[in-house]
Structure 1
Amino acid sequence: MGTSISSIDTSNPSTKYCKKCSRLCIFDVSKLSPNQDFKKAPLSDSKLSLLTKKNVKNYLNSRKKSQKDLANNKKERSKKSVRIFMTQSLDNKNKPDMEYPRSIFLIIATEFCERFSFCGLRTILSLYLRNILLFHENKATVVYHVFIMMCYFVPVIGAILADSCLGRFRTILYFSVIYTVGNIVMCFAATPPIGLEPVTFTMIGLSLIATGTGGIKPCVAAFGGDQFKVPQQEHLLKQFFAIFYFTINFGGFVGMILTPILRKAITCFGDDTCYSLGFGFPAALMIISLGLFIAGKPLYRIKFPKQNIMVRFTTCMMYAICTKIRTKEKDPNRHWLSYAEKKFDAKLISDMKNVLAILYLFFPLPIFWSLFDQQGSRWTFQASRMNGEVFGYQIMPDQIQVINPALVLLLIPLFNKGIYPCLGSCHVLVSPLQRMVAGGFIAGLAFICSGVLEYELEQTYPMLPSKGEAFINFVNSLPCDLMITDSKGNSRTLSMGDMTTIKKIPVFNKTEYNVVLSAMDNCKNTPMNSRHMEIAVPVTEREVRTVLIGIENKKIECYLSDLEDLKKTLSGKPKLRLSVLRSSDKPFEKVTITIKNNVGFSDIYFVPEVAIGVSAYLELLPGQYGFSVFYPESQRTEFEGGLNLELGGVYSLVMREYNRNIVFAKLYAMTPPNTIHMFWIIPQYVFLSIAEVMFAISGLEFSFTQAPKSMKTVTMAAWYFSVACGNLLVIIITQAQFFSNQADEFFLFAALIFVDMFIFAWMSLDYQTVSIESDDSSLTFPEPDENYPLLALTSHEAVLP
């Protein structure tokens, strides 16, 4: 290899003329030993650019003339040394650096802990709002998306602080402290013994967390990008974004698995869940994250802002607008920012044009995020109404969210190493913008799947009366059939042991519903003095009543049960109510009903000594149960039976006792159980995960690589701000309540994203991609008054101008 020829200092008299080749061979004489002969110094063959003899003479005369002046001021001479970069020097400088900065690994570890904390908390948040704070699903959805919206709105503030005064390191540090405090407050709010008002302090904790995570969000990826030297490590920078996003999803993946297990598998403070631990563990992870970030400070490549770029950005825009308005003769082909050229430098204006071109493309993006972030709200509530049993293990509805990061972890290498290269060979989806458009359309397919699934789930939802309506259930405990006839002459047959529901009974100006019960022919074997009975059932708007039909004193008798609560439990567990009809020629005897399963659960219901006894609803684990009717006074077990309670079902066990004997017992499903398995939600998660890989990763890369060096954080903050706007859209649509069922709302979002992506594709057609900007200039040019020769760099050659 030849001696490295990187530069020549004009003050060095050791530069010699090579008689052998009749040219001046410019060597880096600092790398030659004092005894080394100049002629024996190795050359660099064809890559060595040589100066002609004529130009050498001019060069030496110029050097001698200036040598005296340079000696008077060593510092000034050092500043004005002309560094002439030869081709070999440029090759060395631009040679790819294959080693990752050590600080990157600490940044990735910090981000892993932070993502674990945030995703773990977010996973259980919607169920905490609904099940513990007892918010309605719509209200819980709104609060959830307000929280997410804040998480992505605050990045604007964080970006301004990072690019204007604090720098990225201090911005991440300060907001991480706020973040950690918020996690601790959330843990305390969910811990009853501490005594904090749960709703108030939950809102305070969520506000602090949103502020903290939002402040660091635009800075972490950019701070990681700062650790690379561009263009030498440009290839590593591109890999970093994939690794960074992989880390985000892996941290979220682990958090989404463990946090629901912690809040469910462990009981605390007398409850069957432990949200204080569910929030406490993420708080501990956030403390670890903060410690790791501080520990890595000596390794970081920290850049401080040199000017308030946001102020200059805004001032330049306002000046350009005002100048254009005041200008009488306007050039239609002139960019409106060019009107600020008199006051602001061309570099700033050029950077602003690039930024505005990027921000223009961000306008359609909120629609995608309005779909994506419903995983933690609408999709979680949807999963809570499904059956998650797998080989005896019950998948929790908030745990199903782990499908997304798990799939993303698999899809990232699949797309980077397989799908994208194959498509690239066909010149398909080669740019980030093209991939984002495709990802948006695939997200629409995900919501079509969720809408279809919701239509199927509606078959298992409770049938509840609307405004101005009431429902009445009739349960026939007789050993024969009955005919039910209303006041309008409408009749229906109620078979023995069955239940029928009369729906949509109008209750305007009415408080009773009159029906006639008639025994059918197969009741001849049942002794009755009267085969008909007319009753008036009291009805209430939006309420459900149950009429239990029995026999008393050889005539049909009706008993009105308590109001029914047909709504599924918030936890998804089945609930059971006992109803006992009692008729006897003798005084009633004490009766107990015991319900137990094979894992140690047991509950006893004491039947009151009245004609009808109705228990409160029992919320039980799904599975097989046995029940027995016991008479303590006579020490006898009269009846034994079995129950199968499925997830999400609402059940009523109706029994009829006659003369101290159980003559009828049957379990009725008042609300259907969750018969659709939770695995049917996987297709929509697959589509949305593919959409995330194509849209979010490509968008993250686009935001960083296309932004000018001084405005990268601002551009990424605008990217996150589009996420906030997407969550705001969810809040607006939820509050507006355009549709009565959730399926139609899902289809609305699918239609919105399809239209939105067509607009985005059209907008991106005119975008001109810019190349990555280097960390610093590759060339250092002399002052205008210097008399040193300057090499003009052209392609791979260095020639004298």
Structure 2
Amino acid sequence: MDLLQKKESKENTFTFIPTGDNAPKGVCPAEKKSPKICGTNYPLSIAFIVVNEFCERFSYYGMKAVLTLYFLYFLHWDENTSTSVYHAFSSLCYFTPVIGAFIADSWLGKYKTIIYLSIVYVIGHAIKSVGAIPVVGNQIVHVVLSMTGLSLIALGTGGIKPCVAAFGGDQFEEEHAQERSKFFSVFYLSINAGSLISTFITPVLRGDVKCFGGDCYALAFGVPAVLMVIALVVFIAGNGMYKKTPPQGNVLLEVCKCIWFALTNRIKNRSQQIPKREHWLDWASEKYSNQLITEVKMVTRVLFLFIPLPMFWALFDQQGSRWTLQATKMNADFGRFVLQPDQMQFLNPLLILVFIPIFDLGLYPLINLCKFNFTPIKKMATGMILAGLAFAAAAVIELKIEENAMPDPVPKESYIQVLNLADSNIEVAVPDHDLFQLSIEPFQDPDGYSELILTGAQQSLRFRIQYRGSSFTFNHTVQEKSVYSLIVYKAEGNLTSYLIKDMWEKPSEGKAAIRFVNILAQDVNITLGKEEFVKSYSASDYRVVERGRYNNVKCQTEAEESILHLGLLDFGASYTVFITSNTSAKMLEAWKTEDIPANNIHIAWQIPQYLLISAGEVMFSVTGLSFSYSQAPVSMKSVLQAGWLLTVAFGNVIVLIVAQAAPLEQWAEFVLFAVLLFVVCVIFSIMGYFYTSINPEELIDKDNKQHTSNKNMIGLVATKTEL
């Protein structure tokens, strides 16, 4: 794409400036109704349309990039609910284009439809942004505002989707077909550019900018709202230059009526002895023209081929849901910068812009040189295989992530670790439990948690501790499905123990969790962000903090103030910091233990799956659109566009159903989707094998000639009969 742009700019050097009677000196004269870019056949109006599309796509993809994390961490929904609502919204965005096309073709025309639905779009963004402000109402208010905003956004973005590109094409004269073709390339480039920039920027606005004491979702949604306002203003600014075509009637509605009449007419006459007709659509011949029926036949052939396609989109659109959730469980530190988990989505539009010229100018010509007939059907099937491999790679990554996860306690089961804060080795034994076989050194990091099998929902356990030749016994009550730390320490010269319940789920958003345990005989105040007050011989609650190094944490007692050096609090880790006293140095010290291990799988391991699915998209989506358009007459291309968009909608419905109806472990769900797509790929390949490509215009001419010949024959027979 970059090479193409450079070449084009050398051939056509121009500047976007107004023309007319009062044009500045040097401006090329142009028609007042449709001014041209100087030295070209490109209407100046397309500049407004391209900028509008860039801003609108920035608005849509920027908002969508942070949507899953908004559901998860702001509305506090679980992962399955967040995924389901995300894909329900995505599905709605691809159902509403049918509504937009109907309004434009049957009532308002493309221009007014874009204006009115863009206003709806802006209102939706505004409501969504307000719903992300924590101080506005309670949880119910946030949910209502969010769902209302998303519904309006879906209507707006989906409604204008079939109008904007077609409206841009309308600006060209029929004799400028080559320029129109280049416009669509630039238009597609603006879509990917808007997506690329927004999916990189909005996660930064969410995670790096703080407001209301946390991630700034209001800003992350507010900036896309502003971009949508700019998109609307820019589009309206070009009003005087647009070539506007009046509504021509809805072709999709006419096709549906034709199909419905054919089916009902066939059912009504099934019992009558009427000669069989060659095709089931021929039963519409009593009401509809032969040309329309022929064109509908061509469309239904392609639409039948579309049936397996939603499965590809079911995998593809999970980049913004399941893959983003996977990224929150990974290490995103690249040394000089830290990537937000939702920023990984920017790889897809970036790779698309890279892959399209590589495939078109390198891969496909090379395959042709090898005398391999790489048909559009084969390209699409290859795209499906690549997407399936991407999910297989995601499953492998998920398995590696789960190796680092905390055990999930079940009924009558708990986990425990022992932390020795005394001044000598200890040996711990629990009657009827085979635990802690080795002695535990002072301030020794535990190897991990040991499993406790209980006799009921809770059980009182006796812990026998050997310390410097003496035996101590402590009783503690343990509950099922819990994780504990047994802290052994000296208080006022005596050995004692303290059982505290630990965090057993990783901190959300890839952040770190920390708590403080005070084993001093005096209270302490710890300043880590907000002040933390910890009483003597007690533990604080966990606090979730941003990943980072904390080397200047103030710790204050009544007598003195000390600086604690906690070091790195890493992605997804949980820490316990023990406040102790160094009597020789007469200062406080901190001993940090890592209870939940940090995320040890780097987020860069997601790159292969993004490479695979992006390559799959180029082979599947770009090829599929081009192929389907080539198989339908000019009057039916909008119908095929609607059918293509509906495959995306149904693909998101599949994800919604799987997330709600068949909750699986995440790696197993990835494998399920990969297997389903491979099966669908086989079915699609078989369907494609029996599909015969056609030239629509030649077929229509041939059919019309045959129909005319039949009419003449009928007229000849009638004349002979009259004679």
TM-score (norm 1): 0.75
Give the deviation of 1:474 after TM superposition: 2.0
Q: Matched residues in 1 for 2:364 and 2:531: separation?
A: 63
- 2:464 aligns with 517
- 1:548 aligns with 487
Letter paired with 2:75: L
Contact 2:351/2:611 (8 A) holds in 1:
yes
Q: Matched residues in 2 for 1:469 and 1:658: separation?
A: 38
Give the deviation of 1:238 after TM superposition: 4.8
- Bigger drift between 276-285 and 617-626 goes to 617-626
Contact 2:515/2:539 (8 A) holds in 1:
no
Q: Matched residues in 1 for 2:610 and 2:352: separation?
A: 10
**Is there any run of 5+ residues in structure 2 with no aligned partner, and where?**
1-38, 702-707, 709-723
Instruction: Provide closer, same or farther for how the CA distance between residues 542 and 228 of structure 1 changes in structure 2, counting only shifts above 3 A.
Output: farther
Instruction: Provide closer, same or farther for how the CA distance between residues 392 and 733 of structure 1 changes in structure 2, counting only shifts above 3 A.
Output: same
- 2:430 aligns with 486
1:126-151 residue CA offsets vs partner (Å, 9 max, x unmatched): 11121222222222111111111111
Instruction: Provide closer, same or farther for how the CA distance between residues 751 and 513 of structure 1 changes in structure 2, counting only shifts above 3 A.
Output: farther
Give the deviation of 1:324 after TM superposition: 2.8
**Is there any run of 5+ residues in structure 1 with no aligned partner, and where?**
1-96, 583-587, 596-601, 778-783, 785-801
State the aligned residue count.
Answer: 656
- 2:16 aligns with none
Instruction: Provide closer, same or farther for how the CA distance between residues 173 and 464 of structure 1 changes in structure 2, counting only shifts above 3 A.
Output: same
1:728 maps onto 2:667 in alignment: no
Q: Matched residues in 1 for 2:464 and 2:146: separation?
A: 54
Q: Matched residues in 2 for 1:198 and 1:750: separation?
A: 36
Instruction: Provide closer, same or farther for how the CA distance between residues 649 and 214 of structure 1 changes in structure 2, counting only shifts above 3 A.
Output: same
Q: Matched residues in 2 for 1:311 and 1:611: separation?
A: 75
1:442 maps onto 2:386 in alignment: yes
Instruction: Provide closer, same or farther for how the CA distance between residues 195 and 319 of structure 1 changes in structure 2, counting only shifts above 3 A.
Output: closer
1:363-409 residue CA offsets vs partner (Å, 9 max, x unmatched): 11111111111111111111111121223321111111111111111
Give the deviation of 1:413 after TM superposition: 1.8
Give the deviation of 1:506 after TM superposition: 4.2
Contact 1:133/1:198 (8 A) holds in 2:
yes
Pairing 1:83-482 to 2, within 5 Å after superposition? 99-192=41-134, 197-228=141-172, 233=176, 235-268=178-211, 270-325=212-267, 326-327=269-270, 328-329=272-273, 334-426=278-370, 428=372, 430-482=374-426
1:48-94 residue CA offsets vs partner (Å, 9 max, x unmatched): xxxxxxxxxxxxxxxxxxxxxxxxxxxxxxxxxxxxxxxxxxxxxxx
1:695 maps onto 2:620 in alignment: yes
- Bigger drift between 622-631 and 274-283 goes to 622-631
1:459-518 residue CA offsets vs partner (Å, 9 max, x unmatched): 232333234432223212234443333332513225213336555534563412524334
Letter paired with 1:643: G
Q: Matched residues in 2 for 1:704 and 1:340: separation?
A: 24
- 1:767 aligns with 691
Instruction: Provide closer, same or farther for how the CA distance between residues 299 and 516 of structure 1 changes in structure 2, counting only shifts above 3 A.
Output: same
- 2:517 aligns with 579
Match among 595, 598, 603 for residue 670 of structure 1: 595
Instruction: Provide closer, same or farther for how the CA distance between residues 708 and 304 of structure 1 changes in structure 2, counting only shifts above 3 A.
Output: farther
1:743 maps onto 2:667 in alignment: yes
- 1:65 aligns with none
Q: Matched residues in 1 for 2:423 and 2:192: separation?
A: 61
Instruction: Provide closer, same or farther for how the CA distance between residues 494 and 725 of structure 1 changes in structure 2, counting only shifts above 3 A.
Output: farther
Contact 2:430/2:464 (8 A) holds in 1:
no
Contact 2:384/2:678 (8 A) holds in 1:
yes
1:617 maps onto 2:564 in alignment: no
Match among 552, 557, 578 for residue 496 of structure 2: 557
Match among 578, 584, 608 for residue 654 of structure 1: 578
Instruction: Provide closer, same or farther for how the CA distance between residues 279 and 350 of structure 1 changes in structure 2, counting only shifts above 3 A.
Output: same
Q: Matched residues in 2 for 1:107 and 1:704: separation?
A: 23
Q: Which has the higher helix share?
A: 2
Contact 2:209/2:215 (8 A) holds in 1:
yes
Contact 1:159/1:714 (8 A) holds in 2:
no
Letter paired with 1:651: Y
Instruction: Provide closer, same or farther for how the CA distance between residues 593 and 179 of structure 1 changes in structure 2, counting only shifts above 3 A.
Output: closer
Aligned-partner SS, 1:398:
helix
Contact 1:566/1:671 (8 A) holds in 2:
yes
Contact 2:577/2:593 (8 A) holds in 1:
yes
Match among 635, 640, 645 for residue 710 of structure 1: 635
Q: Matched residues in 2 for 1:640 and 1:298: separation?
A: 67
Give the deviation of 1:728 after TM superposition: 1.0
1:531 maps onto 2:471 in alignment: yes
Aligned-partner SS, 2:508:
coil
- Bigger drift between 236-245 and 727-736 goes to 236-245
Contact 2:298/2:696 (8 A) holds in 1:
no
1:183-228 residue CA offsets vs partner (Å, 9 max, x unmatched): 1111222234665832211111011001111112223333334445
Letter paired with 1:568: K
Q: Matched residues in 2 for 1:721 and 1:113: separation?
A: 24
Contact 1:263/1:274 (8 A) holds in 2:
yes
Give the deviation of 1:674 after TM superposition: 1.7
Q: Matched residues in 2 for 1:489 and 1:286: separation?
A: 64
1:396-430 residue CA offsets vs partner (Å, 9 max, x unmatched): 11111111111111112222222223323445465
Q: Matched residues in 1 for 2:404 and 2:433: separation?
A: 31
1:638-682 residue CA offsets vs partner (Å, 9 max, x unmatched): x85543211221101124559897898531111111222211111
Q: Matched residues in 2 for 1:182 and 1:592: separation?
A: 46
- Calculate the aligned-residue CA RMSD, in Å: 3.2
1:757-788 residue CA offsets vs partner (Å, 9 max, x unmatched): 111122123334344769x99xxxxxx9xxxx
1:424-459 residue CA offsets vs partner (Å, 9 max, x unmatched): 344546543332221111111111111111111112
Give the deviation of 1:167 after TM superposition: 3.4
1:334-354 residue CA offsets vs partner (Å, 9 max, x unmatched): 111112223211111011111
Give the deviation of 1:539 after TM superposition: 2.4
Letter paired with 1:702: F
Instruction: Provide closer, same or farther for how the CA distance between residues 164 and 411 of structure 1 changes in structure 2, counting only shifts above 3 A.
Output: same
Instruction: Provide closer, same or farther for how the CA distance between residues 772 and 357 of structure 1 changes in structure 2, counting only shifts above 3 A.
Output: closer
Aligned-partner SS, 2:414:
strand
- 1:756 aligns with 680
Contact 2:101/2:250 (8 A) holds in 1:
no
1:301-323 residue CA offsets vs partner (Å, 9 max, x unmatched): 44444444344323322332233
Contact 1:218/1:720 (8 A) holds in 2:
no
- 2:8 aligns with none
Aligned-partner SS, 1:632:
coil
- Give identity over the alignment, percent: 36
Instruction: Provide closer, same or farther for how the CA distance between residues 298 and 437 of structure 1 changes in structure 2, counting only shifts above 3 A.
Output: farther
Instruction: Provide closer, same or farther for how the CA distance between residues 103 and 590 of structure 1 changes in structure 2, counting only shifts above 3 A.
Output: closer
Letter paired with 2:632: A
Instruction: Provide closer, same or farther for how the CA distance between residues 755 and 397 of structure 1 changes in structure 2, counting only shifts above 3 A.
Output: same
